Amino acid sequence: MIKKLLLVTLLALCGFSASAQFDNIGLLGGSTLTGWASDTDMITTDGITYTLDNVVLINPLPGNDPGVKFRKDDAWEVNWGGNTFPSGTAIPGGVNIQVAPGTYNVTFQSCPK
């Protein structure tokens, strides 16, 4: 009986930790293939480091605002930009990050809660 209870307890603990909810961080912008209309969600396993591999960045079509930004939950209330590329510190509400065309592995590291 004790072994069964321990197994159920371990499964419950593992299930709880595996279902942790993390912020959704996405990349978007006139220099992405989807433009400003749609975020590309980044991947995380810890809610701190978010990654996105093989991101194609382009020169946007004339009339489209260039650059990229990061934002939380596909909404503008929390977003990050900056004036350094290809690395640097993203600033809350910062300017569009101006990029050079190419294919990149992108990492965004948030502050631990």
What's residue 20's pLDDT? 59
What's residue 65's pLDDT? 87
- Residue 6 in any domain: the answer is no
* Residues of the chain below pLDDT 50: 1-19
What's residue 5's pLDDT? 36
What's residue 113's pLDDT? 63
- How many structural domains are present in the chain? 1
Q: Give me the domain span that covers residue 99.
A: 22-109
11 three-state secondary structure: helix
- Residue 8 in any domain: the answer is no
- Residue 105 in any domain: the answer is yes
In what order do the strands lie in the sheet containing 91-92? 40-41, 25-28, 69-72, 79-81, 91-92
